[in-house]
Amino acid sequence: MFLSTFEKQLDAKRRIVVPQEFRATVSGPFDGVFCFPSIEADCLEGGGKALFDRYLALIEELPFGDPLRSALETSVLGGMAKLSFDDAGRITLPPGLCDMFGITDWVAVVGLGDRFQIWPREAFQSHRAAARETARAGLAELRAAQRAKSLAGAAS
């Protein structure tokens, strides 16, 4: 699993050292990661072959020619880069992907279980604050619904 958040600095060639924990997660026949523009946020998304296979299976569930399938194919498969690790455990981010999200210097590499995201550091700080508020409000709603269900069951 990809866990935790790491702040890393890109070098002049747009290389970033992938945390050892992340490299161990994707070890296999292909020594690297798949990376593409995230669908859910203004950042890069990446992961190993399992993530690639998951997206491919989702796409293949949709009929050929379906607008959602075409959009996913364009966004995920068309935007994907296969990035190999060098001897120092670095990947080189393609210029087009960096330009798309303003990735120039410091980044946050954020583990999300079966995938990770790469954000410009300042953009991630804002995103993290908003996500925390959404999580806090959503958890409060969930707990309230659970309490209401429990009370309704007890009253029966």
pLDDT tens-digit profile of 30-80?
778 999 999 999 999 999 888 899 999 999 999 999 999 999 999 999 999
pLDDT tens-digit profile of 97-111?
999 999 999 999 999
Please indicate whether residue 10 or residue 19 has the higher confidence score (pLDDT): 10
Domains of the chain: 5-121 (3.40.1550.20)
CA distances (Å), origin 108, targets 103, 120, 144: 10, 6, 34
Residue 49's pLDDT is what? 87
CA distances (Å), origin 70, targets 62, 73, 154: 9, 5, 49
Which of 30, 37, 3 has its CA nearest to residue 19? 3
pLDDT tens-digit profile of 79-88?
999 999 999 9
Residue 143's pLDDT is what? 95
Per the prediction, the chain carries an average pLDDT of 92
CA distances (Å), origin 65, targets 52, 54, 60, 68: 21, 20, 11, 8
Three-state secondary-structure class, residue 123: helix
Which of 31, 70, 28, 46 has its CA nearest to residue 118? 46
